[in-house]
Amino acid sequence: MVSTEHISTYNLSEEEEKKEILRHYRGLLRALKQKMKPGDKILIRTAFEMAVEAHKTMRRKSGEPYILHPIAVAKICVEEIGLGIRSSICALLHDTVEDTDISLEDIQREFGSEIAKIVDGLTKISNVMDTNTSQQAENFKKILLTLTDDPRVILIKLADRLHNMRTLDSMKREKQLKISSETIYVYAPLAHRMGLYNIKTEMEDLSMKYMETDTYKFIAKKLQETKRDRTRYINDFIKPLKDKLQHAGLEFDIYGRPKSIHSIWTKIKKKGVSFEEVYDLFAIRIIVNAAPEKEKEDCWKVYSIITDEYNPSPERLRDWLSNPKSNGYEALHTTVMGPLGKWVEVQIRTKRMNEIAEKGLAAHWKYKEEKDDESHFDKWFNQIREALSNQESNSLDFLQDFKTSFLAEEIYVYTPKGDVKMLPIGASALDFAFSVHTAVGIKCIGAKVNHKLVPISYVLRSGDQIEIITSAKQKPNSEWLKLVITTKAKAKIKDSLKEEKRQIADLGKSILERKFNAIGAVYNQSNVEELAGFYKNSSSLDLLYDIAVKKNELKELKAFTVHGDKIIAPKVLKVVEEKLESIEVKPLSKKDTELIIFGESSDKILYTLANCCKPIPGDDVFGFVTTGEGLKIHRTNCPNATRLLANHAHRVVKTKWAKNKEISFLTGLKIVGLDDVGVIHKITNLLSGELKVNIAAMTIEANHGVFEGNVKIFVQDKEHLNIVVNKLLGLSGIERVDRYDTEEG
């Protein structure tokens, strides 16, 4: 975890505050020292004074002067992202146009058009996700559009978000949840794809700190408790390697680095193991100081020395030297069997590769002049530009597509000629076909992967060689959208389907023209839209299509009246419609939305508990206003929480529980243990007999000496559930007891 410089200045006098601001500003100047050219200091000073003056009456929620935030953002840009003078000026001014009297013209006059353009980009996205509807996704799309102008906008935005996450303690709980969920949903993956691994890791950890506080504290405590043993083990592991690497005449750094809390938690969930069973709590990193022309050779030399000393796991070798990731990441990763029978991950890279791994994009540019060819990063950038140029897609779909297409991990596959293509994990043969060319995708009927015939739905793996088979008779259908994950493939399939829909809709147009003639109405765009609105079609194209395929036979058209050139919908139906809408739109009064207490005052407002996570009293929860089903209560660590909080924060309602021992809630437990005689009897005896818990359902499956049981029980609250879990774990032969989230359980 990176240390924060967050200082509460509640108790400082005006004079002390000024000193505090200057101290932070001098820290920024020290960070910039290496990058300063003549005249730069005056520019920075001007930007600093401009920002101080603009923000002089503003405070952060913690009570400290607001100006400390832009200074901190500028410092993150320099120290942790590797940006320079101009980016620092933009960071210092990033909130001025949005929140103060300074205009974009003032900035342009003072610093020129390049800086004004970046600040403008930051201003457009500064209130991202603070507005209603699905504007969060809309705004995220705007953020990415700025990327096509100047990627520094995104980098400064990431620095801004990181500092906000580091200083989230002083925010209200619901604000913490909203900002954390956005961060984990969009900003952390974006930092990852920009190659900013340290920032991505810290963002994930900080989001988890607020969204899953108990788990975060538990893992942090465990890491602290095991630190001494871990350090001793790392030293024992490194010692023989150090000697051999020195003997080989290599110049290097070698050290152990703890894995992030978030990544450890992901492993625990994914593998279904306890903290003690997670083998990679740390990774060994070896950084070689190699001449550019000897980089690969030296990395493989180090690999050879390591695998001479420790046995490698063949399926755990990751070679990003031969095929760097599209965000520029280059390294060799291997997992070897270390002392005491423990698996250890080792990462090998050169100094240059390490700088790109830590500073991402900025370091990529620094080394770019040394290479003439278009890098993977540039190709990735161009793909994003292409995706963004498709303006028609719905913003929420766009956000989801963007995450799967551009923020996911990658695989590399080969064309028949042996060229490498990067695709996101989960990409199909059809995705590959569209990545070659739209015409190839549209006519694709199958593929040969490693010379074997496969369907278009085949999910590709790294290293596959793929040849596409096409047919002139083939055309896309709506099922294809389920078979692809890349933005390009989805957009091109939708375009093709739309074209086909237009052709069918032409038939609907001639039917509607005849029907309009029959009631004496004119066929024009405004009348078609009136009718589409009446039938709740999202567009006139959908209406005409429905008419053509006989889904809509226009039975209600007779009830319309014609007034001049206009058709008017029947009144009676409209009143009913409005009545329904007004009920739906007003689910809660403002007073009720501020605090809802469950239990004693549950009669005050109707709510239902979400089936996706089955909350019980004591769980950390939030209310979510759905369009059709009123208020639903979700756990903050619900599988759907991140998406709901990130996309629809305005519909989130603050909630808390009240004690009420008379109400019980259904929850499910998964029990794993040794299949012993009488194990069911032991469990039911404990639950029904000793603990007096009502059992709603119970299934037990045994498999080669191990049993897995699912039990649905009624408990009063989380405290009660914890007692049940601990008692079950106390039974002999019971290995694990986990609460399950899903409805099926």
Output DSSP code: residue 742: S
Round to whole Å and give the CA distance between 695 and 360. 54
Check residue 10 and give its pLDDT: 52
3-state helix/strand/coil string of 174-193: HHHHHHHHHHHHHHHHHHHH
User: How many domains, the chain?
Assistant: 6
578 belongs to a structural domain? no
Among the listed residues 421, 435, 287, the one whose alpha carbon sits nearest the alpha carbon of residue 354: 287
Final residue in a domain of this structure, among 349, 368, 387? 368
Same domain, 176 and 44: yes
Same domain, 240 and 329: yes
Q: 109: left (phi > 0), else alpha (psi -120 to 50), else beta? A: alpha
Residues ≥6 apart with Cβ < 8 Å to 258: 223, 230, 281, 282
Pairing of strands 410-414, 420-424: antiparallel
Pairing of strands 282-288, 343-350: parallel
Same domain, 259 and 287: yes
Provide the residue count of the chain.
Answer: 745
633 belongs to a structural domain? yes
Final residue in a domain of this structure, among 305, 334, 368? 368
**Residue pair 161/203 in contact by the 8 Å Cβ criterion:** yes
Q: What are the helix and strand counts (H, E) for the chain?
A: 30, 23
Same domain, 383 and 518: no
Q: Report the DSSP beta bridge partners of residue 332.
A: 319, 348
Q: Report the DSSP beta bridge partners of residue 335.
A: 345
Instruction: Assign residue 715 the CATH number of its domain.
Output: 3.30.70.260
Q: Where in the sequence is the domain holding 704, given as residue range(s)? A: 665-739
684 belongs to a structural domain? yes
Phi, psi of 347 (to 5 degrees): -110, 130
Residue type, 624: F
Check residue 603 and give its pLDDT: 47
Three-state SS at 356: helix
Whose tokens are 């989801």? That residue is 400
Query: Cα-atom radius of gyration of the chain, to the nearest Å?
Result: 30
Among the listed residues 581, 580, 554, 559, the one whose alpha carbon sits nearest the alpha carbon of residue 569: 559
4 belongs to a structural domain? no
Active site (annotated) includes residue 98 = yes
**Residue pair 666/617 in contact by the 8 Å Cβ criterion:** no
**Residue pair 308/336 in contact by the 8 Å Cβ criterion:** no
Check residue 381 and give its pLDDT: 60
Phi, psi of 274 (to 5 degrees): -85, 170
Round to whole Å and give the CA distance between 380 and 377. 5
Same domain, 226 and 355: yes
End-to-end CA distance of the chain: 35
In a 10 Å sphere around its CB, with 0-12 CB exposed, 13-18 middle and 19+ buried, how is residue 287 labelled?
buried
DSSP letter string, 23-52: HHHHHHHHHHGGG--TTHHHHHHHHHHHHH
Round to whole Å and give the CA distance between 489 and 252. 44
Three-state SS at 555: helix
631 belongs to a structural domain? yes
Catalytic one among 20, 40, 79, 99?
A: 99
601 belongs to a structural domain? yes
Check residue 430 and give its pLDDT: 94
Same domain, 488 and 501: no
Catalytic one among 40, 98, 150, 529?
A: 98
Query: b/e for 464-502, b at 16 or more Cβ within 10 A?
Result: bebbbbbeeeeebeeebeebbbbbbbbbbbbebbeeebe
Token output for 208: 């988890």
Final residue in a domain of this structure, among 657, 685, 705? 657
Same domain, 353 and 478: no
Instruction: Assign residue 430 the CATH number of its domain.
Output: 3.10.20.30
Same domain, 301 and 340: yes
Residue 688 CA from chain centroid, whole number: 43
582 belongs to a structural domain? no
Distance of CA 396 to CAs 133, 147, 188, 194, 646, Å? 11, 19, 18, 22, 11
Token output for 168: 């989230």
Residues ≥6 apart with Cβ < 8 Å to 177: 210, 211, 622, 636, 645, 652
Token output for 59: 């405070």
Same domain, 422 and 308: no
Among the listed residues 87, 282, 80, 70, the one whose alpha carbon sits nearest the alpha carbon of residue 199: 80
DSSP letter string, 376-421: HHHHHHHHHHHHHH-TTS-HHHHHHHHHHHHSS-EEEEE-TTS-EE
Same domain, 639 and 694: no
Round to whole Å and give the CA distance between 586 and 581. 9
> Mean pLDDT of residues grouped by 10 in the chain (745 residues)?
42 80 90 86 90 85 86 91 87 83 84 84 58 49 59 84 90 84 82 82 92 89 88 92 90 88 84 75 90 90 93 85 79 90 90 82 54 50 60 54 61 80 87 91 89 89 87 87 88 86 83 80 81 79 83 77 76 35 34 44 64 79 76 82 75 70 76 79 85 84 81 85 89 84 46
What predicted TM-score, i.e. pTM, was given to this entire model?
0.62
Question: Tens digit of pLDDT for each residue in 257-281?
Answer: 888 888 888 888 877 777 777 767 8
Check residue 576 and give its pLDDT: 31
Same domain, 156 and 78: yes
Three-state SS at 134: coil
Cα maximum dimension of the chain: 96
Question: Tens digit of pLDDT for each residue in 614-630?
Answer: 787 778 888 887 766 77
Round to whole Å and give the CA distance between 387 and 377. 15
546 belongs to a structural domain? yes
Same domain, 630 and 716: no
